[in-house]
Chain A
């Protein structure tokens, strides 16, 4: 049974990854003409000091995806490349590989997302639990409308307002970037503080805008849990209010939140990409923004595939630990 579930989950994982690679291959070719070849030829015709490199890229591209080859053969070649995580060279920044560029920007995104999502999940869930808890202080109730409003706002719009207020008007934080221009990324305290200062506002906008989502979900679950018989029984047995709150109510209400986390990951990520663009934060979103402006297909494809892969792996991990978190779940085949 457990094995059955794991196998089914792994199959879904493989299908999603395959679907992403297939979309990557077929979408540019849908229109009949191959925009990637057009772009490459255009770049080669433009010449310049990287001319020879681009010329080689055109040849390599023709060798792999030439018009003389049938479509299925091109498709298999592409799948093979993707399986080896080989996305080729960036068209716009030629001597650099797509992998190399992504390796530079991924840590920024992962760091920002991991911190904000975990914080938002923890703080939002506790707030939501307090909102539904009858014995919580009065002022908590007043937090509900603003939280609700914030959750309806896209992250990057909140980001725009925060930049203007805290970076431009009050000058508490830098206006853009991930670190002060001119300094070089290094592992020392000064640089770490600099990074912290630069990522505070992007993190705050994601955090504030996603708090409401978790609070809402948790509040709903807490209301259900509070009506359960074991809560009444535990209260009647004279358990302390804090024990009731943490080990009886939250423990049970938190589990569905983990499922929502898996479902919301893609949404959070899309939002965070745009926040990066607004803040010119040196993560994968800003890289994608520049790649789109330069029509750097290989980079766009690489980034799209890598992000899908990341989200899918994260969802897979969440789904696999979910039965461990909740012993009531056995996953029978319905």
Chain B
């Protein structure tokens, strides 16, 4: 295990980055007063000081508190939307790829059409149509409404390839039912791919949610990382040189994305031993 971890460096780097972020959010909640994340709880526009280590924003939020509260919220949106996406995607992919026929053509057609349309635009239409300001969970659901498209396509092609392998045919010849084959033969071999797809879906969901937030359709009351960037552009913090306002969310978001990216690259290597690096 340890020696494998040493070889799969990108998995280790990714896990460390995500762990660091979780530690920051977890310990921060214990050590720092998160009520300071509310507007008007601190003097506005202050650069970093002992009292406010990351400074304060235009509306008088303490940015360290905002980061501690906002990071889990952003991760929550990503995890929820990513989970829903992979769950729906797995079910659709299994039914489509395993049973084939009209259902499969239909699923494939919908996915092909859906993936041609830029996701962000449909999400914008959806969010605008809801009109009333979204809550964080609603936001996750909006993002989840399209997050199943890509997982469906990738998992489907994987199921198609697994389906043709010899052990599936052996199982079928020895009289296993469809359900047994799907759950006991295909699923265990699919799991590493599902894990990699899940990590990718979480990243895509976070990216989509931040995109919606930056363009002004996010949960106005919540202090997610994307909303912080929205306020940065809204109040033109760049023109005032308030680097302490946008640097923390940028750094955390970059860490999240690089972390997820390395984990998914690492899982990919785990799932495809053929691409595994030689020692």
Contact surface of A with B, Cβ cutoff 8 Å: 12, 15-16, 19-20, 23-24, 27-28, 30-31, 35, 148-149, 151-154, 156-157, 160-161, 163-164, 167-168, 175-176, 263, 266-267, 269-270, 273-274, 277-278, 285, 288-289, 292-293, 295, 297, 300-301, 304, 307-308, 311-312, 315
Contact = CB atoms under 8 A, between A and B. Distances in A.
B238 A168 contact: yes
Contacts of A30: 129
Interface in B103-136: 109, 112-122, 124-126, 128-131
A277 B257 contact: no
B233 interface: yes
A30 B243 CA distance: 42
Given A12-B112, A154-B210, 7 more contacts: A277-B214, A277-B215, A288-B215, A297-B128, A301-B125, A307-B121, A308-B117
Contacts of A274: 211, 214-215
A278 B113 CA distance: 30
Contact of B246 (A152, A164, A175): A164
Contact of A31 (B113, B129, B229): B129
B257 A153 contact: yes
A20 to B, nearest CB: 6
A5 to B, nearest CB: 14
A21 to B, nearest CB: 11
B124 A19 contact: no
23 contacts: A12-B112, A12-B116, A24-B125, A27-B126, A28-B125, A28-B128, A31-B131, A151-B261, A152-B257, A160-B229, A160-B232, A168-B241, A266-B116, A270-B120, A273-B120, A277-B214, A278-B233, A289-B215, A304-B125, A307-B118, A308-B118, A311-B118, A312-B117
B257 A270 contact: no
Contact of B258 (A149, A164, A269, A273): A149
Interface residues of B, number: 41
A282 B50 CA distance: 41
A292 B217 contact: yes
Contacts, number: 124
B250 A292 contact: no
B102 interface: no
Nearest to B127: A292
Contacts of A24: 125
A267 B124 contact: no
Contacts of A168: 238-239, 241
Contacts of B112: 12
A175 B207 contact: no
B253 interface: yes
B121 A153 contact: no
Contacts of A28: 125, 128-129
Contacts of A160: 229, 232, 238, 246, 250
A115 to B, nearest CB: 19
A292 B216 contact: yes
A292 B238 contact: no
Contact of B116 (A153, A304, A312): A312
A266 B117 contact: yes
B254 interface: yes
B258 A154 contact: no
Contact of A153 (B117, B125, B258): B258
A292 to B, nearest CB: 5
A148 B229 CA distance: 24
B118 A154 contact: no
A19 B253 contact: no
**7 smallest A-B Cβ distances: which pairs?**
A266-B118, A270-B120, A152-B261, A152-B257, A28-B129, A27-B129, A304-B121
A12 B109 CA distance: 9
Nearest to B217: A292
A33 B7 CA distance: 57
B251 to A, nearest CB: 9
A253 B207 CA distance: 30
A295 B128 contact: yes
A31 B260 CA distance: 35
A292 B128 contact: yes
B258 A15 contact: no
Nearest to B216: A292
A293 B210 CA distance: 17
A23 B122 contact: yes
Nearest to B239: A175
Contact of A300 (B115, B124, B210): B124
A189 B157 CA distance: 53
- Of the candidates B118, B211, B229, B260, the one having the most CB atoms from chain A within 10 angstroms of its own CB is B118
A73 to B, nearest CB: 21
Interface string B250-268: 1001100110110000000
Given A277-B233, A292-B124, A295-B128, A161 B250 contact: yes
Contact of A164 (B120, B217, B238): B238
B215 A292 contact: yes
B216 A293 contact: yes
B113 A289 contact: no
Interface string B231-249: 0110000110101001000
A300 B215 contact: no
B216 A266 contact: no
Nearest to B243: A164
B116 A311 contact: yes
